[in-house]
Structure 1
Amino acid sequence: MTETALKVLKDKFGYDSFRPGQDEIINKIMNHENVLAVMPTGGGKSLCYQIPALMLPGLTVVVSPLISLMKDQVDALSENGIAATFINSTLDYQEIEHRLQQAAMDQVKLIYLAPERLDDERFLSELSDLNISQLAIDEAHCISQWGHDFRPSYLNLMNTVHQFPSHPVVVALTATATSKVASDIMQRLNIDPTNEVSTGFARDNLSFQVVKNQNKEAFLLEYLKVNANAAGIIYASTRKEVERLTGLLQKKGVKAEMYHAGLSEDVRNKNQEDFLYDRVQVMVATNAFGMGIDKSNVRFVIHYQVPGNLEAYYQEAGRAGRDGLPSEAILMYQPSDLQIQHFFIDQSDMEPAFKTREYLKLQEMSKYANTEGCLQQFILKYFGESSPACGHCGNCLDERDQVNVTVDAQKVLSCVLRMRQRYGKSLIAQVLTGSHVKRIRDEHFDQLSTYGLMKGRSQKEVTDLIDFLTSSGYLQQVGGEYPTLHVSEMGGSVLKGKAKVLRRGAVKAKRTVSVDDGLFESLRQLRLNFAEQQHVPPYVIFSDKTLQAFCEELPQSTLDMLSIKGVGQNKLDKYGDAFLNVIQEYEADASEAAQ
């Protein structure tokens, strides 16, 4: 089985070996065992069902949540010489019937559908007549009410699975699932708990960074200046902020477009296509943009405002560096941004228990933003995975001077105790800065020895310090919507003078990755020409990583090219000679210049 799968992997996709977990998942599918695949973004989830699709006798149905993802996947498969299609709301009835007929005649091996399509009884009946060997459920965390992106349309998949007479094997795939979400997925889809294959959540090529207590606009503009040729996504929490940022960047000469649910479908599609086709450098967006975006050469993802939870953050951040090249995920943090997410939770229709859960998740997001430990380690711990420090995140590589803030920390910790550990950070900051608000007088907090102890500081500065002490473990938050602060055992050691508290100050913008030499640019231009002819995004032709390999290895023949990752036989036949000519011309010019 593995030898056949390896041959398909090489011939169709141009890779010599499987990534961790892929062969195990494929073997389970070929043994007709339902399986849950938990793999990081860019970890190769799609191949886990695409290779069995080519080996199984019947049709593979892929449930996918976004139209853009379907088109990207089908385009990529077609470039590899694999017959695939999709059915979604962009097609009329006749075209849908035509594509179903193609599937019935074994003219396609994979068909992509939105989950809502399966709510249509007539369509489901027609689909049930086909010989479906495999049902792949992408973004499977959407099926769980404990997940960060729950979609009711996914719940019907439980019933759908049982309606297919062919009894297809089920593979569920996700990049972001806590242990609770994973258990929920497996229970709902009848997957044996022993058939969860998790390759870990670590993204070794992704460098995490938190920028806080700084001028966000100044940092963003400097970062985009330093990374002028890199593609990236900037996330903001509201449509208004997306529009403001886009206007700012365009005014500064950055090729930027916007994406949010308030734009017309035509404008959204145009802006998304411009980004996918490398016509614009930066997409500024709400979280309406991105799930399933397969653009492999996104070099950075910047969250200009704090998202609601770590699952959403990690999934969105994971859209950087899908090709495996070094990339950055930057969170720009201000405590006031948490209020926006708090408002979103307040205004939601969720049950009280779910709201409490979301408030707690938001607290974790704040802790992440304020920790001075390894950022990737913090994220992995959240997903239940232990790991050493990554060695390449902003905190691990932090060379900024550490400032001793022990005395200020003792003032905060002492105030928390004197307020009987029954209040939140806002009131504590008001007491420390000597505020005259009515509540302080009513509670007689103006009589405390810690009242006004930090009178020379702004409430924002003191609140920032409280956030830092909380994320670092000196304080603990208790409760959901209105958490109170308690002094931890670590905090007690600081109060007794047995431990010091050290803190760092501002982050500078740096360049993500440098592959922009002359040959790389020539190859990229050739790729763009082919992409425009084929009407597909450039990365579908060859990824940046494959182009970089061409630059490093300088293949001398099409046979040499076939040994490079990402070059399968179909792509070699279509594009090999043209790319080889550019490489040979570059070498000839370099040789002539050296003489």
Structure 2
Amino acid sequence: MLQKAEEKLRTYFGYTSFRPGQQTIVKSLLSGCDTLGIMPTGGGKSICYQIPALLFDGVTIVISPLISLMKDQVDALASAGIAAAEINSTLDAAEVRERMRKAREGVYKLLYVAPERLETDSFMALVSELPIAMVAVDEAHCVSQWGHDFRPSYLAISRFIQSLPKRPVIAALTATATPEVTADIQRLLSLQDERIYISGFGRDNLHLSVRKGEDRRRFIRDYLEARREQAGIVYAATRKDVDALYDYFQERGFSVTRYHAGLSEAERARNQEAFLYDDARVMFATNAFGMGIDKSNVRYVIHYSLPKNLEAYYQEAGRAGRDGEPSECILLFHSQDIQTQMFFIEQNQQGAERREHEYKKLYAMIDYCRTPRCLQQYIVQYFGDHAAGECGRCGNCTNEAELADITLEAQKVFSCVKRMRERYGASLVAQVLKGSRNKKVLEFGFDKLPTYGLMSDYTEKQIVDLIELFIAEGYLRVTENKYPILALGDRALPVLKGEEQVWQKVLIRPIKREEDDELFERLRQLRKELSQKEGVPPYVIFHDSTLKELSQICPTDKETMLTIKGIGAAKFEKYGSYFLACVQEYLQKKEGAATASD
């Protein structure tokens, strides 16, 4: 069966072999086992159920959370020569019945539906007549209340499966699942004798970095100026920030658009389409611009402000480089953003247990911003992979600044926290160390402590920055709630005793302007023209990685072109002649220029 799967992969998707992690999931599903696959964003999760769906007798129901995600998947399948359909709220009853009829007759191998659809009697009556071979649950973390995108309707999936006359194979796939969420998925989807495959959360093509204290708008302006022809996403925490950034950059002639829940549905759809079709290079967005964004050539994701947790951050950052090409993920960290996220947690109508859980996840996100350790390693360990080594490419790993011994400063801070009886926050500790005459410092008599004024040559901000570093590295602990209190961590005592040293590293990384390959640009323009003619996003035709390989190999015949990743027989028949002509025209022009110079 695996050989047949690879034949389908080659014919429809133009790849000669599965990516790491895909093969084990495909093999497990084809053997009839319930399978939970956890793969990084951009790891090719959809192929894991699409290939088995083509080989199974019967229909595969795909549970997908968003209409835009369904449409993207169906468009991409149609472009590859695979018949699929979605059932969603934009269709009337007659259209739904017609698509279900075609599914019964074997026209469609894959049928995409939202989880809410499983709660309607009319749909259940129609689906009962389908020969369902597999149910694939995309974005499976949505089933867990501890996941970052909880959708109550996902709880209907288990009841739906149990109602079927014959139990199908279950595939559950997600990119962001902590061990706690993974256990929830197993339980709430009622998986049986399941196999779990975690293909690693690391993304080798992503360069992660955190930049602290930047003039954020100026940083983004310089960054976008250096990459005017590249597609990217800039996430901000509030609608107000998104609108302000959009207005600022639009006035300065940048190719930008925006997306947030305050816009009308029509405007959101129009703006998303402009970004997907490369009519706008940069998307400014809140986290409302989320799942369903399958644009492959996003070269960078910048977080203008602190995300609410690592699950959300890594999913958003992972929208960069889905084609496997090198891409950047930059988080611009300012400590005042913490208060914004705390406000959001307090505003939510949720119980004390849920709020406590959200605070815990927020503080893990904050520690990510503070740590001097490998950023990729920090993330994968958060998701349960404690065997991962340093990535060697993130902002912290590639930082060439020399380590500085800050043991003495650490001893002063730890001593002050201890003498203040581990009952106060970072700001007050910093004021005491600075020697502030603040009313609260004097009122509590902290000016009498031996640690008062010990760091008077530092600013309070510098002291707070040091405290945040010590928190991230486990020297200090904070209570994970609205009013965090400092306490000594397990690593502090050996430092106070003089048994261990503490080191600090400062991140410095310049922005570099990148130049585009002439043929690559020609191919990209051709792709855009074809996408406009066909009414599909450019990446549905070919990913950037495919265009780059085309520009490197310069094929002049069908056989050579079919060796390029991402070009299968169906796509060659559809687009091959256009791209071959473009390459040949470029080569002739180049040859003519070389002859003229001789």
Q: Normalising by structure 1, what TM-score?
A: 0.96
Q: Do the aligned residues in 1 keep the contact of 2:399 with 2:509 (CA within 8 Å)? A: no
Tell me what 1:337 maps to. 337
Pairwise CA distance, 1:150: 1.1
Aligned equivalents of 2:193, 2:377: Cα separation in 1? 26
Alignment of 1:530-541 (within 5 A): 530-541=530-541
Pairwise CA distance, 1:497: 4.3
Q: In 2 relative to 1, CA 566–512 (structure 1 residues): closer, same or farther, beyond 3 Å? A: farther
Q: Which of 428-437 and 307-316 deviates more?
A: 428-437
1:587 is the counterpart of 2:587: yes
Aligned equivalents of 2:453, 2:213: Cα separation in 1? 23
Q: In 2 relative to 1, CA 457–90 (structure 1 residues): closer, same or farther, beyond 3 Å? A: farther
Aligned equivalents of 1:87, 1:192: Cα separation in 2? 27
Pairwise CA distance, 1:393: 0.4
Q: Do the aligned residues in 2 keep the contact of 1:211 with 1:332 (CA within 8 Å)? A: yes
| 2:532 partner SS | helix
Q: Which of 419-428 and 561-570 deviates more?
A: 419-428
| 2:32 partner SS | coil
Q: Do the aligned residues in 2 keep the contact of 1:376 with 1:393 (CA within 8 Å)? A: yes
Pairwise CA distance, 1:294: 0.5
Q: Do the aligned residues in 1 keep the contact of 2:97 with 2:126 (CA within 8 Å)? A: no
Q: Do the aligned residues in 2 keep the contact of 1:327 with 1:512 (CA within 8 Å)? A: no
Alignment of 1:106-145 (within 5 A): 106-145=106-145
Q: For residues 243-276 of structure 1, what are the alpha-carbon distances to aligned partners after superposition, in whole Å with 9 as ceiling and x for unaligned?
A: 1111122123221111000100010000000000
Tell me what 1:420 maps to. 421
Tell me what 1:477 maps to. 478
Tell me what 2:241 maps to. 241
Q: For residues 493-538 of structure 1, what are the alpha-carbon distances to aligned partners after superposition, in whole Å with 9 as ceiling and x for unaligned?
A: 4434454444344644424865x21110111111111101110000
Alignment of 1:178-257 (within 5 A): 178-192=178-192, 195-257=195-257
Tell me what 1:447 maps to. 448
Aligned equivalents of 2:223, 2:497: Cα separation in 1? 42
Q: In 2 relative to 1, CA 390–512 (structure 1 residues): closer, same or farther, beyond 3 Å? A: farther
Pairwise CA distance, 1:594: 1.7
Opposite residue 232 of structure 1, the aligned amino acid is: G
Pairwise CA distance, 1:324: 0.1
Alignment of 1:407-556 (within 5 A): 407-455=408-456, 457-505=458-506, 507-511=508-512, 516-556=516-556
Aligned equivalents of 1:402, 1:336: Cα separation in 2? 27
Tell me what 1:35 maps to. 35
Aligned equivalents of 2:565, 2:505: Cα separation in 1? 42
Aligned equivalents of 2:531, 2:565: Cα separation in 1? 19
Report how many residues are paired. 594
Aligned equivalents of 1:529, 1:56: Cα separation in 2? 36
Q: For residues 371-408 of structure 1, what are the alpha-carbon distances to aligned partners after superposition, in whole Å with 9 as ceiling and x for unaligned?
A: 11110001011111121110110111112354554443
Q: For residues 202-234 of structure 1, what are the alpha-carbon distances to aligned partners after superposition, in whole Å with 9 as ceiling and x for unaligned?
A: 100011000002222221111111222111111
Tell me what 2:103 maps to. 103
Opposite residue 95 of structure 1, the aligned amino acid is: E
Aligned equivalents of 1:403, 1:97: Cα separation in 2? 69
Aligned equivalents of 1:508, 1:249: Cα separation in 2? 24
Aligned equivalents of 1:116, 1:440: Cα separation in 2? 56
1:44 is the counterpart of 2:39: no
Q: Percent identity at matched positions? A: 50
Aligned equivalents of 1:78, 1:557: Cα separation in 2? 25
Opposite residue 548 of structure 1, the aligned amino acid is: K
Q: Do the aligned residues in 1 keep the contact of 2:155 with 2:189 (CA within 8 Å)? A: no
Aligned equivalents of 2:437, 2:21: Cα separation in 1? 60
Q: Do the aligned residues in 1 keep the contact of 2:34 with 2:193 (CA within 8 Å)? A: no
Tell me what 2:391 maps to. 390
* Structure 1 portions without partners, runs of 5+: none
| 1:476 partner SS | strand
Aligned equivalents of 1:352, 1:525: Cα separation in 2? 53
Tell me what 1:266 maps to. 266
Aligned equivalents of 2:350, 2:193: Cα separation in 1? 29
1:159 is the counterpart of 2:159: yes
Tell me what 1:69 maps to. 69
Q: Do the aligned residues in 2 keep the contact of 1:357 with 1:480 (CA within 8 Å)? A: no
Pairwise CA distance, 1:319: 0.5
| 1:329 partner SS | strand
Q: Do the aligned residues in 2 keep the contact of 1:323 with 1:545 (CA within 8 Å)? A: yes
Pairwise CA distance, 1:456: 5.1
| 2:147 partner SS | coil
| 2:336 partner SS | helix
Q: In 2 relative to 1, CA 264–479 (structure 1 residues): closer, same or farther, beyond 3 Å? A: closer
Aligned-CA RMSD value? 1.8
Pairwise CA distance, 1:242: 0.9
Q: For residues 126-184 of structure 1, what are the alpha-carbon distances to aligned partners after superposition, in whole Å with 9 as ceiling and x for unaligned?
A: 11221111111100000011212111111111111111223221101000001111111
Q: Do the aligned residues in 1 keep the contact of 2:33 with 2:194 (CA within 8 Å)? A: no
Q: Normalising by structure 2, what TM-score?
A: 0.96
Pairwise CA distance, 1:489: 4.6
Q: Do the aligned residues in 2 keep the contact of 1:326 with 1:513 (CA within 8 Å)? A: no
Q: For residues 95-148 of structure 1, what are the alpha-carbon distances to aligned partners after superposition, in whole Å with 9 as ceiling and x for unaligned?
A: 222222221222211111111111212212211221111111100000011212
Q: Which of 401-410 and 339-348 deviates more?
A: 401-410
Q: Do the aligned residues in 2 keep the contact of 1:186 with 1:193 (CA within 8 Å)? A: no
Q: Do the aligned residues in 2 keep the contact of 1:375 with 1:395 (CA within 8 Å)? A: yes
Tell me what 1:287 maps to. 287
Aligned equivalents of 1:284, 1:7: Cα separation in 2? 40
Opposite residue 296 of structure 2, the aligned amino acid is: S
Aligned equivalents of 1:251, 1:496: Cα separation in 2? 58
Q: In 2 relative to 1, CA 583–119 (structure 1 residues): closer, same or farther, beyond 3 Å? A: same
Opposite residue 332 of structure 1, the aligned amino acid is: L
Q: In 2 relative to 1, CA 508–249 (structure 1 residues): closer, same or farther, beyond 3 Å? A: farther
Tell me what 1:277 maps to. 277
* Structure 2 portions without partners, runs of 5+: none
Q: Do the aligned residues in 1 keep the contact of 2:147 with 2:177 (CA within 8 Å)? A: yes
| 2:349 partner SS | coil
Q: Do the aligned residues in 1 keep the contact of 2:140 with 2:172 (CA within 8 Å)? A: yes
Q: Do the aligned residues in 2 keep the contact of 1:299 with 1:512 (CA within 8 Å)? A: no
